A and B are shown apart, each in its own frame.
Chain A
Amino acid sequence: MTSFDEQLRELIPRLRRFALSLTRHASNADDLVQTCLERALGSVAGKRPEGDLRAWLFTILYRQFVDNHRRSRRYARMLEFFTGRDDTQPSTERTVLAQSTLEAFEQLNPEQRALLLWVSVEGLSYKEVAEILDVPIGTVMSRLSRARNALRQLSEGEINRPALRRLK
């Protein structure tokens, strides 16, 4: 038990970083990490993977995030239905021209951010990522390729459709 806690504790900074890259908001990120750890600790010992826990924890955290996101989108749609406006649209201030790779990264969609973090930063294998997302390896590779090209274009300021719209 203690060693499992110890292993989890070591991975907490990475989980927080991943959650932060998804939510872009520190306290939401920690809520997400907390739920993830609660699930991990609540899981039956026999269901935990042997050895590297990282990919397993990323899976729990990512699915939780997607789940929350779906729920809040449903809520936003409901709100839109009642109030006639959509609060989920990013404000124009947010889609500024990327000054750095990090800014470009933050403009990608959540799955692209997750992919790049897993592969480029955490060094997970394509197979591990395929298992997290529950898609074939080929799909991971094509999505990764799209994510890298999007990051490249955002870094170069080539894609700035929202900014262009503002010029109209």
Chain B
Amino acid sequence: MITTPPSERDLHAYVDHALSDAERQQVEHYLLANPHIAAQVQAWQRDAQALRTALHQSLLQPANPNLDPVAIRQRQHRQARRQWASAAVLLIAVGIGGLGGWQARLLTQASNVLPMSDALAAHRMFAEQGFLPADYKVQQSSDMQGWIDRYFSHAERLPDLTGAGFTPVSCRLLTTDQGGAAMVLYEDQQGRQISFYIRPPGPQNSLLPRGNRRDGELQTQYWSGPGYNYAMVGPADAPTAKLLDTVGL
């Protein structure tokens, strides 16, 4: 219940239609008898009306497509996938990072370290399963080299496999515990995939003698070049295996 005479709060509540019928009548009665208070209340009402009119304009801005819920959902989805990507990258890092300390020594002593196994892991994840978006897609074949050069200075040129029908289509950046890595995916007309993998040799500067290894249906060719370790991974069947043999020489 409001007071008599009405408090200033009651007057605001009156302006904002927040009073009961009885209370409103009580205020109106009071305002009739007190013209200078009534003038103040009317001024508040006029201000409120003026604000409603003035601010109506900004309801009429042209729509911003970025704010549409569908667009926002899509962006959130992409971000989630990108977080997935860093999770996958971490897995790769753990794969080789797990070979730290005494484990690595043991394995080295047993000469059991599988060189460039991260290249193989990356190929399985990004090429075969293809569940992650590329960081870079090729428009022209010369673009990819420029893009790689931005991240790896003075690295070997990307192998030109056009003779065998393979062209670079996309690239992904990865982090490993040896430093940043990149995987360039090549495809041919039949959709066969070969990947080129580059990363720094790591703090121990562990350079590799040229070699290759077969793991299931995949063949990995690896070598070290100026400043980086390299690998090519592709199907182990005859034509591509032969092709892999020729790169990096």
Interfacial residues, chain A to chain B (CB-CB below 8 A):
4-5, 8-9, 12-14, 16-17, 20-21, 26, 30, 33-34, 37-38, 41-42, 100-102, 105, 116-117, 119-121, 125-126, 138, 141-142, 144-145, 148, 151-152, 155
Selected from B48, B59, B66, B69, the residue in CB contact (under 8 A) with A17 is: B59
**Given the contacts A126-B16, A142-B9, A8 and B69 also touching, CB distance less than 8 Å:** yes
Contact with A along B1-45 (1 / 0, CB 8 A): 000000011001100101000000000000000000000000110
**Given the contacts A16-B61, A20-B58, A141-B13, A121 and B51 also touching, CB distance less than 8 Å:** yes
Cα–Cα, bound, A141→B67 (Å): 33
B54 touches A38 (CB 8 A): no
Residue B138 interfacial (CB < 8 Å) = no
Place the interface of chain B in its size category.
20 to 34
Interfacial chain B residues near A16, Cβ < 8 Å = 58, 61, 64, 67
Selected from B8, B18, B59, the residue in CB contact (under 8 A) with A13 is: B59
Residue B87 interfacial (CB < 8 Å) = no
Q: Which residue of B lies closest to A7 (CB)?
A: B69
Interfacial chain B residues near A12, Cβ < 8 Å = 63, 67-68
Interfacial residues, chain B to chain A (CB-CB below 8 A):
8-9, 12-13, 16, 18, 43-44, 47-48, 50-52, 54-55, 58-61, 63-64, 66-70, 72-73, 76
- Specify the main secondary structure of chain B where it touches its partner: helix
Selected from B9, B16, B51, B66, the residue in CB contact (under 8 A) with A30 is: B66
Task: Identify the 10 closest CB pairs spanning chains A and B, nearest first.
Answer: A101-B50, A120-B48, A5-B69, A102-B54, A17-B58, A141-B9, A13-B59, A8-B69, A20-B58, A121-B52
**Given the contacts A117-B55, A145-B9, A100 and B67 also touching, CB distance less than 8 Å:** no
**Given the contacts A41-B72, A100-B50, A17 and B16 also touching, CB distance less than 8 Å:** no
Selected from A120, A126, A155, the residue in CB contact (under 8 A) with B52 is: A120
**Given the contacts A13-B61, A14-B59, A141-B9, A34 and B51 also touching, CB distance less than 8 Å:** no
B54 touches A120 (CB 8 A): no
A30 touches B67 (CB 8 A): yes
Cα–Cα, bound, A101→B54 (Å): 8
- Specify the main secondary structure of chain A where it touches its partner: helix
Interfacial chain B residues near A20, Cβ < 8 Å = 58
Cα–Cα, bound, A26→B64 (Å): 11
Interfacial chain A residues near B59, Cβ < 8 Å = 13-14, 17
Given contacts A12-B67, A30-B67, could you give 14 more A-B pairs where the C-beta distance is less than 8 Å? Answer: A13-B61, A14-B59, A17-B55, A17-B59, A20-B58, A21-B55, A26-B61, A42-B76, A101-B47, A121-B48, A144-B12, A145-B12, A152-B44, A155-B47
Cα–Cα, bound, A148→B58 (Å): 21
Min Cβ gap B93→A in Å is: 28
Q: B52, B58, B76 — which one has the most chain A CB atoms within 10 A of its CB?
A: B58
Q: Which residue of A lies closest to B8 (CB)?
A: A145
B76 touches A38 (CB 8 A): yes
Cα–Cα, bound, A81→B76 (Å): 38
B68 touches A9 (CB 8 A): yes
Chain A to chain B contacts (Cβ below 8 Å), 28 pairs: A4-B69, A5-B70, A5-B73, A8-B69, A17-B55, A21-B58, A26-B61, A30-B67, A33-B67, A34-B72, A37-B69, A38-B72, A41-B72, A41-B76, A42-B76, A100-B54, A102-B54, A116-B48, A117-B51, A119-B16, A120-B47, A120-B51, A121-B48, A138-B9, A144-B12, A145-B12, A148-B12, A152-B44
